[in-house]
Amino acid sequence: MARIDKYDPISGGFRAPLNAAYTGAAAPLGVGLNSSGRVVAGPGQTGISGVICAPFDMVAGQPIDCMTAGELVEFGGVAGTRYYAHATTGVISSTPSIYPVGETVEADRLVVRVGTAAQATNVVGDQTAVVHLTDSTGGTGNDTVAAIAAPTDAPATADALRDDIAAVMVPALNNNFADLTAKINTILTRLESAGLLTP
Protein backbone atom coordinates (compact mmCIF):
# COMPACT_ATOMS: atom_id res chain seq x y z
CA MET A 1 0.00 0.00 0.00
CA ALA A 2 1.50 3.32 -1.10
CA ARG A 3 1.97 5.94 1.58
CA ILE A 4 3.31 9.49 1.79
CA ASP A 5 6.95 9.69 2.87
CA LYS A 6 7.97 13.28 2.06
CA TYR A 7 5.46 16.09 1.70
CA ASP A 8 5.37 19.78 2.60
CA PRO A 9 1.71 20.89 2.60
CA ILE A 10 2.74 24.53 2.20
CA SER A 11 4.96 24.29 -0.87
CA GLY A 12 4.36 20.73 -2.05
CA GLY A 13 0.65 20.72 -2.65
CA PHE A 14 -2.73 22.20 -1.90
CA ARG A 15 -5.86 21.33 0.04
CA ALA A 16 -9.33 21.29 -1.50
CA PRO A 17 -12.71 19.68 -0.72
CA LEU A 18 -13.70 16.38 -2.28
CA ASN A 19 -16.52 16.56 -4.79
CA ALA A 20 -17.80 13.11 -3.82
CA ALA A 21 -17.23 10.50 -1.17
CA TYR A 22 -13.86 8.80 -1.56
CA THR A 23 -13.21 5.15 -0.82
CA GLY A 24 -9.75 4.65 0.64
CA ALA A 25 -7.38 2.95 -1.78
CA ALA A 26 -3.96 1.32 -1.66
CA ALA A 27 -2.83 3.11 -4.82
CA PRO A 28 -2.30 6.85 -5.36
CA LEU A 29 -4.59 8.65 -7.78
CA GLY A 30 -4.21 11.60 -10.13
CA VAL A 31 -6.84 14.26 -9.48
CA GLY A 32 -8.05 17.55 -10.88
CA LEU A 33 -10.59 20.20 -9.97
CA ASN A 34 -14.11 20.59 -11.33
CA SER A 35 -15.92 23.83 -12.12
CA SER A 36 -16.72 24.22 -8.41
CA GLY A 37 -13.08 23.91 -7.41
CA ARG A 38 -13.63 20.49 -5.86
CA VAL A 39 -11.33 17.50 -6.16
CA VAL A 40 -12.36 14.81 -8.66
CA ALA A 41 -10.67 11.66 -9.92
CA GLY A 42 -8.99 12.29 -13.23
CA PRO A 43 -8.39 15.64 -14.92
CA GLY A 44 -11.74 17.29 -14.21
CA GLN A 45 -11.77 20.79 -15.68
CA THR A 46 -8.17 21.73 -14.85
CA GLY A 47 -6.15 18.73 -16.00
CA ILE A 48 -4.28 16.64 -13.45
CA SER A 49 -3.45 19.09 -10.66
CA GLY A 50 -2.07 16.73 -8.04
CA VAL A 51 -1.87 13.24 -6.58
CA ILE A 52 -3.79 11.98 -3.57
CA CYS A 53 -2.78 9.04 -1.41
CA ALA A 54 -5.38 8.22 1.23
CA PRO A 55 -5.97 4.65 2.45
CA PHE A 56 -9.04 5.70 4.46
CA ASP A 57 -12.59 6.62 3.45
CA MET A 58 -13.56 10.28 3.26
CA VAL A 59 -16.91 12.02 2.80
CA ALA A 60 -17.92 14.52 0.13
CA GLY A 61 -16.83 18.02 1.02
CA GLN A 62 -14.03 16.85 3.29
CA PRO A 63 -10.72 18.63 2.55
CA ILE A 64 -7.95 16.44 1.16
CA ASP A 65 -4.26 17.16 0.54
CA CYS A 66 -3.30 17.00 -3.13
CA MET A 67 0.44 16.49 -3.61
CA THR A 68 2.21 18.37 -6.39
CA ALA A 69 5.75 17.68 -5.13
CA GLY A 70 6.79 14.99 -2.71
CA GLU A 71 7.60 11.30 -2.46
CA LEU A 72 5.53 8.16 -2.01
CA VAL A 73 6.96 4.88 -0.76
CA GLU A 74 5.73 1.29 -1.02
CA PHE A 75 4.53 2.32 -4.46
CA GLY A 76 5.18 -1.05 -6.11
CA GLY A 77 6.52 0.25 -9.41
CA VAL A 78 9.58 -0.30 -11.56
CA ALA A 79 12.75 1.66 -10.80
CA GLY A 80 13.73 4.40 -13.22
CA THR A 81 10.30 4.62 -14.83
CA ARG A 82 8.12 7.62 -15.57
CA TYR A 83 4.54 7.35 -14.38
CA TYR A 84 1.41 9.04 -15.70
CA ALA A 85 -2.17 9.66 -14.64
CA HIS A 86 -4.78 8.21 -16.96
CA ALA A 87 -6.43 10.95 -19.00
CA THR A 88 -9.92 9.92 -17.88
CA THR A 89 -9.73 7.99 -14.60
CA GLY A 90 -6.58 9.43 -13.03
CA VAL A 91 -5.23 5.92 -12.35
CA ILE A 92 -1.45 6.07 -12.18
CA SER A 93 0.60 3.68 -14.32
CA SER A 94 3.55 3.60 -16.70
CA THR A 95 1.22 3.87 -19.71
CA PRO A 96 2.02 7.22 -21.35
CA SER A 97 -0.56 9.98 -21.31
CA ILE A 98 -0.40 13.77 -21.44
CA TYR A 99 -0.35 13.82 -17.62
CA PRO A 100 3.09 12.84 -16.26
CA VAL A 101 3.11 12.74 -12.45
CA GLY A 102 6.64 11.62 -11.58
CA GLU A 103 9.40 9.02 -11.72
CA THR A 104 10.59 6.14 -9.57
CA VAL A 105 14.09 6.42 -8.12
CA GLU A 106 13.58 3.00 -6.60
CA ALA A 107 10.95 0.43 -7.41
CA ASP A 108 8.93 1.43 -4.34
CA ARG A 109 9.61 5.20 -4.27
CA LEU A 110 7.69 7.50 -6.60
CA VAL A 111 8.99 11.07 -6.77
CA VAL A 112 5.90 13.13 -7.53
CA ARG A 113 6.27 16.27 -9.64
CA VAL A 114 3.03 17.76 -10.92
CA GLY A 115 3.30 21.42 -11.83
CA THR A 116 3.14 24.16 -14.40
CA ALA A 117 5.81 22.61 -16.65
CA ALA A 118 3.87 19.38 -16.89
CA GLN A 119 0.54 21.18 -17.20
CA ALA A 120 1.84 23.17 -20.18
CA THR A 121 1.86 19.95 -22.20
CA ASN A 122 -1.81 19.40 -21.41
CA VAL A 123 -3.04 22.26 -23.59
CA VAL A 124 -4.63 20.65 -26.62
CA GLY A 125 -7.08 21.71 -29.27
CA ASP A 126 -10.51 20.34 -30.06
CA GLN A 127 -11.07 17.13 -28.06
CA THR A 128 -14.53 16.40 -29.45
CA ALA A 129 -15.19 12.67 -29.74
CA VAL A 130 -14.59 11.10 -33.15
CA VAL A 131 -16.80 8.12 -33.95
CA HIS A 132 -14.90 4.89 -34.63
CA LEU A 133 -15.43 3.35 -38.04
CA THR A 134 -17.54 0.22 -38.44
CA ASP A 135 -16.01 -2.27 -40.86
CA SER A 136 -18.77 -3.82 -42.94
CA THR A 137 -16.57 -4.71 -45.90
CA GLY A 138 -16.13 -8.36 -45.02
CA GLY A 139 -12.46 -7.92 -45.86
CA THR A 140 -9.51 -9.08 -43.79
CA GLY A 141 -6.81 -6.67 -42.72
CA ASN A 142 -3.19 -7.80 -42.92
CA ASP A 143 -1.16 -4.61 -42.32
CA THR A 144 -0.61 -4.20 -46.06
CA VAL A 145 -2.43 -2.01 -48.55
CA ALA A 146 -2.18 -4.28 -51.55
CA ALA A 147 -1.95 -3.30 -55.20
CA ILE A 148 -5.14 -3.96 -57.13
CA ALA A 149 -4.68 -6.29 -60.08
CA ALA A 150 -6.03 -5.08 -63.41
CA PRO A 151 -8.91 -7.01 -64.97
CA THR A 152 -8.13 -9.63 -67.58
CA ASP A 153 -7.41 -8.13 -71.01
CA ALA A 154 -10.11 -8.44 -73.65
CA PRO A 155 -12.73 -10.35 -71.65
CA ALA A 156 -15.00 -12.41 -73.84
CA THR A 157 -18.19 -10.90 -72.44
CA ALA A 158 -19.39 -8.24 -70.02
CA ASP A 159 -20.32 -11.04 -67.63
CA ALA A 160 -16.78 -12.38 -67.78
CA LEU A 161 -15.45 -8.92 -66.92
CA ARG A 162 -17.88 -8.60 -64.01
CA ASP A 163 -16.91 -12.03 -62.70
CA ASP A 164 -13.21 -11.16 -62.94
CA ILE A 165 -13.72 -7.89 -61.04
CA ALA A 166 -15.82 -9.64 -58.38
CA ALA A 167 -13.31 -12.44 -57.95
CA VAL A 168 -10.08 -10.40 -57.96
CA MET A 169 -10.54 -6.68 -57.49
CA VAL A 170 -13.41 -6.45 -54.98
CA PRO A 171 -11.85 -8.76 -52.35
CA ALA A 172 -8.55 -6.87 -52.60
CA LEU A 173 -10.34 -3.54 -52.22
CA ASN A 174 -12.30 -4.83 -49.23
CA ASN A 175 -9.12 -6.07 -47.60
CA ASN A 176 -7.50 -2.67 -48.11
CA PHE A 177 -10.51 -0.86 -46.62
CA ALA A 178 -10.46 -3.26 -43.67
CA ASP A 179 -6.78 -2.46 -43.13
CA LEU A 180 -7.39 1.29 -43.19
CA THR A 181 -10.41 1.03 -40.90
CA ALA A 182 -8.44 -0.98 -38.33
CA LYS A 183 -5.54 1.48 -38.39
CA ILE A 184 -7.79 4.53 -38.03
CA ASN A 185 -9.62 2.96 -35.09
CA THR A 186 -6.32 2.03 -33.44
CA ILE A 187 -5.10 5.62 -33.77
CA LEU A 188 -8.38 6.95 -32.34
CA THR A 189 -8.13 4.59 -29.37
CA ARG A 190 -4.59 5.72 -28.60
CA LEU A 191 -5.51 9.39 -28.89
CA GLU A 192 -8.38 8.77 -26.48
CA SER A 193 -6.10 6.96 -24.03
CA ALA A 194 -3.68 9.90 -24.15
CA GLY A 195 -6.47 12.36 -23.42
CA LEU A 196 -6.26 14.07 -26.79
CA LEU A 197 -9.77 12.99 -27.79
CA THR A 198 -12.91 12.40 -25.76
CA PRO A 199 -13.82 8.68 -25.87
Please report, in tens digits, the pLDDT of each residue of the chain (199 residues total).
788 998 888 889 999 999 999 999 989 999 999 999 999 999 999 989 999 999 999 999 999 999 999 999 999 999 999 999 998 899 999 988 888 999 999 999 999 999 754 444 444 556 778 899 999 999 998 899 999 888 888 888 998 888 888 888 999 999 999 999 999 999 999 888 776 777 7
Q: Calculate the average pLDDT of the chain.
A: 89
Q: 106 forms bridges with which residues in the sheet? A: 109
Using a cut of 0.85, tell me whether the model's pTM lies above it.
no
Residue 92 near residue 114 (C-beta atoms within 8 A) = no
The three-state DSSP-derived secondary structure of 54-100 is CCCCECCCCEEEEECEEEEECCCCCCCCEEEECCCCCEEECCCCCCE
The pLDDT tens digits for 92-124 are 999 888 889 999 999 999 999 997 544 444 445
pLDDT score for 135: 93
Side chain identity at 84, as an amino acid letter?
Y
Q: Which helix (H) or strand (E) holds 30?
A: strand 29-33
CATH T-level topology, domain 3-120: Virus Head Decoration Protein; Chain: A, (2.40.300)
In the chain, where the domains are located:
3-120, 124-199
